[in-house]
Amino acid sequence: MMMASRSLQLFILFVCSLTIITIECSEVEKQNPNLYNITKTVVHSAVSKGAVCLDGSPPAYYFDPGFGDGVDNWIVQISGGAWCVNVTDCIGRTKTQLGSSKYMDKLEFQGIHSKNKSANPDFYNWNKVILAYCDGGSFVGDVEYVDSATNLHFRGKRIFYAILEELLEKGLKNAKNALLAGGSAGGYPAVLYCDNFRDSLPSAARVKCLNDCGYFPHFKNPELEKNWHVRFSGVAELQGAAQSLPKSCTSKMKPELCLYSQNIQQDIKTPLFIFMSAYDNVETKYTFGDYMGGLIDGGKCSASQNQSLIEMRSEFLNALPKGDNPNLRGVFVDSVHHHNSLLRRWIPETAINVNGQLHTKVFADWYFDRKYTYLIDETNELPLTNNARLIWQVDNTTGRVIYTA
């Protein structure tokens, strides 16, 4: 009787184990390779180095390990999220994920971070890292003093190096291929720290950098520049840019001017690629105001507004690196009124096309030294409507992502 009872218990345990395994496998199968969530990794050790978010909380990053023959390849992406330009603005950020790791939730990985080999053949199995942005100043601050009245910390530079140190120990120091990328407000530090990133990987076969939708030009026309001047002057003062930015730039011009990628890129020795729309929708918003976006997308700009847009485009193109050495300075400039090419645009359905060339293929070829490209859309003098303002949905039956404009 005892033997029968024991056998029954073992049978029930076996069935339960199979059930658990089936459920776990089912959950894995449901994970969509094009769009998946990653939990933050908080760098508690950074606090002792003074590398903290605006509110004094430890910084964080998001990490998805590589697999297969991608285990020694790394994408390190620096997040964007505009800037805080005064104390009130920065205090407001401390109650959000843009100023405190306390409010950081899971992050959706997509685009160049997709694990779908057919959609992302060159990078699908790489180690993927996204640095959370919580310093309000494009990772440039290194201010020791903390005002007790505000408790604001401007330590973005320390955050970058503290996270880099942890990633090196995690395996980045053994990388065979590595890319430092940044989007929007994260595009500038991808340029600023490009050579330092390269120098931390002496054995890497290939190390390059990418500024995606963060190459905002310094306009000569004061009407176009006025809003940017207020913005970058505020960032430079709060973040102590005069002390933290390269002397090769600050010795020649005001610190706020050194926050423009165009004024530091010539000193970067590492190969750099630039993705940017000549009519980036953040560029148009901060240059002209919120109202301009609706006019552009609705095709309702007046003749004088169109002329201002054309002038903006012209000044932007003049701010780009020269095209005589595309292996060191690759460029892909489109005319679509959009922002960001690495994430939602990094799929065949919505990739940017200029002269029959997709930006995803152009960049991959440039990165892997298959073909060096310096490409500017010269066909469209005025902005093209953004036709891929996507709403992401997941088909519960197939697990596929559905794109709705």
Q: What is the reported pLDDT for 350?
A: 87
Q: What is the reported pLDDT for 284?
A: 98
Q: How large is the angle between the packed helices 281-288 and 222-239, nearest 10 degrees?
A: 100
pLDDT over threshold 60, residue 236: yes
Query: Whole-prediction pTM value?
Result: 0.89
Q: How many CA atoms lie within 13 A of 59 on its CB side?
A: 35
Q: How far apart are the first and last CA of the chain?
A: 67
Torsion of CA 171, 175, 178, 184, to 10 degrees: 10
pLDDT over threshold 60, residue 23: no
| Cα gap 360→338, rounded to integer Å | 16
Q: What is the reported pLDDT for 30?
A: 60
Name the pairing type of β-strands 329-334 and 401-404: unpaired
Contacts of 226 (CB under 8 A, 6+ apart): none
Q: Is pLDDT larger for residue 349 or for residue 74?
A: 74
Alpha-helical segments (H) within 171-302 = 187-192, 194-199, 222-239, 241-244, 247-250, 281-288, 291-297
pLDDT band at 347 (very low <50, low <70, confident <90, very high): confident
Q: What is the reported pLDDT for 376?
A: 98
pLDDT in tens, 138-182: 999 999 999 999 999 999 999 999 999 999 999 999 999 999 999
pLDDT in tens, 98-141: 999 999 999 999 999 999 999 999 999 999 999 999 999 999 99
Q: Enumerate the active-site residues.
A: 184, 280, 339
Q: What is the reported pLDDT for 205?
A: 81
pLDDT over threshold 60, residue 298: yes
Residues linked to residue 277 through DSSP beta bridges, in sequence order: 334
Q: Residue 384 gets which letter from DSSP?
A: B
| Cα gap 350→387, rounded to integer Å | 9
